Amino acid sequence: MKKKEISAKKKAQNAKEYAEYAKQTEKFNKEREEYDKNSYNEKIDVLRLKARNDGNSGDGAEHVKHKMKLRDWLYHYKWLIPITLAFTVLLAVLLIDWLSQERPDLTVLMITQDYETSRAGDEISAFFGEFCEDFNGNGKVLAAVVSIPFGDSADIYDSNPIRFNAELAAGKALFVIADSTSEQGYEGIFYDLEKAFSDCPNIEGYKFFLHGTGFAEAIGLDYALPSDMYLAVRAVEYGKPYEREMEKNFENAMSVLEKIIEQLGV
């Protein structure tokens, strides 16, 4: 009987102790939750009070407050850091690629079927470069030559429409070297050179004929150019998105052409 009474008392004591432990645990958890909830503001208040006592007008507390906000932001949005770094690297690569690209001061489209002339792209580039200026202001003078191969068709839009139209749409290529096999279908896009150079015997309408001008010798060819090969300048296409840029390029092209005509002595 006594053993049963002792066992019951022991169980009651254990239950009382467990209840007290549970009560203390619950109290601790509530206090911890309240602390976590208010710790940020309490720390700021303490720092602000300390700064005020030190005569710092709260600057120290504000500094710590911003620092804590930054740390909190980094904790919640740390997943943005690798994305931001990747985007920054990609942007840097694109910027370097853009800066390293050649930006010509003028562009010559060469659509003649004359094989030797079409192979002399570097020599033609150097020739135009002699009369070119640093129009784009990048510290370099560059005249680019774009050779667009033509097939047997005389219609430019049947030969290479995608590339040629892309070059025209950019509004940057004003000079065109062509011949009678590649002139149909686009005569209306050229400027009438007789308006500016009426005294030049090699100019007929929009064509500045290169045969007999010394152009072949200037680009290193030892034979006479075909009599129908000519140099033309595109007229400004008003109403286009690139109208202003084309106006500027047109003025540059005409100044270069004037120097070429004077140099060739015609």
pLDDT digits (tens, 9 = 90+) for 186-217: 778 899 999 999 999 999 999 999 998 999 99
User: Residue 234: what are its φ and ψ, rounded to 5°?
Assistant: -70, 140
Distance from the first to the final alpha carbon of the chain: 138
Query: Do the domain assignments include residue 199?
Result: yes
Q: Convert the pLDDT of each residue in 44-56 to its tens digit.
A: 665 565 555 555 4
Would residue 25 count as lying in a domain? no
In a domain, 57, yes or no: yes
Would you say residue 67 lies in a domain? yes
Instruction: Look at residue 157 in the predicted model and tell me its pLDDT.
Output: 44
Structure tokens belonging to residue 97: 């690629």
Q: Can you tell me the distance from the alpha carbon of 179 to that of 229, in angstroms, rounded to the nearest whole number?
A: 4
Same domain (yes/no): 194, 232: yes
Domain end point (choices 101, 122, 144): 101
Q: What are phi and psi of 206, to 5 degrees?
A: -95, 0
Point out which residues pair with 263 in neighbouring strands.
none
* CA distance linking residue 165 with residue 74, whole number of Å: 51
Model confidence pLDDT, tens digit, residues 250-263: 999 999 999 999 98
Which residue range forms the structural domain that includes residue 180?
Answer: 102-264
Q: Are residues 77 and 109 in the same domain?
A: no
Q: What predicted TM-score, i.e. pTM, was given to this entire model?
A: 0.60
Q: Which of 101, 124, 144 is the last residue of a domain?
A: 101
Whether residue 93 sits in one domain with residue 142: no
- Whether residue 249 is contained in a domain is answered as yes
The radius of gyration of the chain's CA atoms, rounded to the nearest angstrom, is: 41
Mean pLDDT of the chain: 76
CB 187 within 8 A of CB 205: no
Instruction: Give the DSSP letter string of 81-116.
Output: HHHHHHHHHHHHHHHHHHHHS---SEEEEE----HH
